[in-house]
Structure 1
Amino acid sequence: MSEFADVVRNRRMTRSFSTRPVDPTVLDSLVDLAARSPSAGKTQGWHLVVLEGADTARYWDITLPVARRAGFRWTRLLDAPLLLLVLADPDAYVARYGEPDKAATGLGASADAWPAPYWTIDASMAAMTLLHAAEDAGLGALFFGVFQREDAVRAALAVPDRLQMIGAIALGYPHQDEPGGGAPGRPDTSGRSAARRRRPPAEIIHRGGW
Structure 2
Amino acid sequence: MEYYEVIERRRMVRNFREEPIDDETIERIVSAGLQGPSAGFSQGFAFLALESPADRECFWATNEHNAQPERVRRAPLVVVPLACKDDYLDRYAEPDKGWTDRDESRWPVPYWYIDTGMAALNILHAAVDEGLGALFFGLPDADWPAFREAFGVPEAYDPIGAIAVGHPAEERVESSADTRERAGLEEVVHGGDWGEALR
TM bucket normalised to smaller: 0.7 to 0.9
The CA distance in 1 between the partners of 2:91 and 2:75, in whole Å, is 36
Q: Deviations over 1:123-181 (max 9, x none)?
A: 000101110111011111100001153332222222222212210000111123x3xxx
The alignment's TM-score, normalised by the length of structure 2, stands at: 0.86
**SS of the residue 2:165 aligns to:** strand
* Aligned Cα root-mean-square deviation (Å): 2.2
Q: Deviations over 1:95-147 (max 9, x none)?
A: 11122211x1x385233321111111110001011101110111111000011
Asked whether the 8 Å contact 1:94–1:107 carries over to 2, the reply is no
* 2:91 aligns with one of 69, 93, 96: 96
Q: Indicate the residue corresponding to 1:23 in structure 2.
A: 22
**1:7-46, aligned counterparts within 5 Å?**
7-46=6-45
Listed as ranges, the gaps of 5+ residues in structure 1 are: 179-187
Q: What whole-Å deviation, never above 9, does each CA across 1:20-61 have from its counterpart, x for those lacking one? A: 222222122122222122211111110111112111112223
Equivalent position of 1:63 in the other structure:
63
Q: Distance in 2 between matches of 1:165 and 1:57?
A: 17
Q: Quickly say closer, same or farther: Cα 1:94–1:107, change in 2 above 3 A.
A: farther
What does 1:140-151 align with in structure 2 at a 5 Å threshold?
140-147=133-140, 148-151=142-145
Does structure 2 retain, via aligned residues, the 8 Å contact 1:90–1:111? no
**CA distance in structure 1 between the partners assigned to 2:132 and 2:101 by the alignment:** 39
Distance change (3 Å), C-alpha of 1:110 and 1:194: farther
Structure 1 runs, 4 residues or longer, greater than 3 Å off = none
The CA distance in 2 between the partners of 1:163 and 1:7, in whole Å, is: 30
Tell me if structure 1 keeps the 8 A contact 2:64–2:143: no
In 2 relative to 1, CA 158–19 (structure 1 residues): closer, same or farther, beyond 3 Å?
same
Instruction: State the percentage of identical aligned residues.
Output: 40
- 1:113 aligned partner: 106
Query: Structure 2 vs 1, CA of residues 94 and 58 (structure 1 numbering), >3 Å: closer, same or farther?
Result: same
Pairing 1:190-205 to 2, within 5 Å after superposition: 190-192=174-176, 194-205=178-189
Matched, 1:139 2:123: no
* TM-score normalised to structure 1 length: 0.82
Cα distance in 2 for partners of 1:108, 1:43 equals 16
Unaligned runs of 5+ in 2: 195-199
Match of 2:80 in 1: 85
